[in-house]
Homo-oligomer: A and B are copies of this chain.
Amino acid sequence: MNIALKVSYDGTCFSGWQIQENGRTVQGELERAICERFGFFSRVTGSGRTDAGVHAAGQVCNFVLSDGIKISAERVADALNTALPPDVRVLESVAVPEEFDACRSAKKKTYRYSLYFARRENPLSERYAVRFGEKPDLSKMRECADLLEGEHDFSAFSATGSSVKTTVRTVSSIKFVPYGTEYNWEQNGMHVDVCGNGFLYNMVRIMAGAMLDCGTGKLTADTVKRALCTGERDLLGKTMPAKGLTLLRVEYATDVFGASEGRMQI
């Protein structure tokens, strides 16, 4: 049985999703839990990798459960959770067709970059968001976001040295979602939700930085246009910290995890 899992994790204490020699990884913990609970090794395929420190609210992955194991797909989630550390949890599990591949079958992903505006750090906000000391001009941020939506060569928005076939991607939407941490008057926050068909290395973190720089007057819309044309990383500012980034959801041709509990989707 090919099983898809929707997984959530707090990235703080991980070296990222992808299994590696030295470093605690989410993939590693999932593969270990599968081995512990079901007695065999099965490779876990994630929709994509997330960096050290990056969180996930809706990562999707799949693995093959040996035919000999008698458990319904829906109960795999609970079985794995009893073998996982507290910072990784399977939210749902469902049987999927043999040809389903969490990475290759993925159509779109939404990443969220979370900011909070405050004079000083607040420990209750610091784990999952990044402090910004000034309130940016939202219209300037929106102007920058509008330039980034659509199909572009995002080379300038990618960490140098990464190797991919093409650096062209389509960002279908960038949404600003305000939120109040409701703790005190000066603390309110904003999520920047970026949905696209694929992402280059550090792309959302560099995009978030560019939007904020436009909002504070450090970067102009013209420079952003130039960056999209020339692919020059140096035209843009620093890559924003990993802890502000959360993989919100991954979308496929049809709903993998239906609204009804455990219904099998194609």
Enumerate chain A interface residues (CB-CB to B < 8 A).
6, 8-10, 55, 57-58, 77-78, 81, 86-92, 118-124, 126-128, 177, 182-185, 191, 246, 248-249, 259, 261
Whether the Cβ atoms of B259 and A124 lie closer than 8 Å is no
What B residues does A90 contact at CB under 8 A?
A: 120
- Picked from B91, B118, B128, B182, the residue with its CB within 8 Å of the CB of A122 is B91
Q: How many copies, total?
A: 2
Whether the Cβ atoms of A124 and B55 lie closer than 8 Å is yes
- Picked from B86, B88, B122, the residue with its CB within 8 Å of the CB of A8 is B122
Whether the Cβ atoms of A123 and B9 lie closer than 8 Å is yes
Q: How far is the CA of A128 from the CA of B183 in the complex (A)?
A: 13
Q: How far is the CA of A23 from the CA of B248 in the complex (A)?
A: 37
What B residues does A182 contact at CB under 8 A?
A: 177, 191
Whether the Cβ atoms of B121 and A58 lie closer than 8 Å is no
Whether the Cβ atoms of A8 and B123 lie closer than 8 Å is yes
What B residues does A185 contact at CB under 8 A?
A: 259
- Picked from B122, B177, B248, the residue with its CB within 8 Å of the CB of A89 is B122
Whether the Cβ atoms of A8 and B183 lie closer than 8 Å is yes
Chain B residue nearest to A122 (CB atoms) is B8
A-B contact pairs, 5 of them (CB 8 A): A8-B124, A86-B123, A89-B121, A119-B261, A182-B191
Q: How far is the CA of A87 from the CA of B87 in the complex (A)?
A: 18
Interface centre among A58, A77, A183 (most CB of B within 10 A): A183
What B residues does A55 contact at CB under 8 A?
A: 124
Whether the Cβ atoms of A184 and B91 lie closer than 8 Å is yes
What B residues does A261 contact at CB under 8 A?
A: 119
What B residues does A248 contact at CB under 8 A?
A: 183
Chain B residue nearest to A78 (CB atoms) is B120
What B residues does A57 contact at CB under 8 A?
A: 122, 124, 183-184
What B residues does A6 contact at CB under 8 A?
A: 184
Chain B residue nearest to A8 (CB atoms) is B122
Whether the Cβ atoms of A120 and B89 lie closer than 8 Å is yes
What B residues does A127 contact at CB under 8 A?
A: 10, 127
Whether the Cβ atoms of B123 and A87 lie closer than 8 Å is yes
What B residues does A78 contact at CB under 8 A?
A: 120
What B residues does A88 contact at CB under 8 A?
A: 123
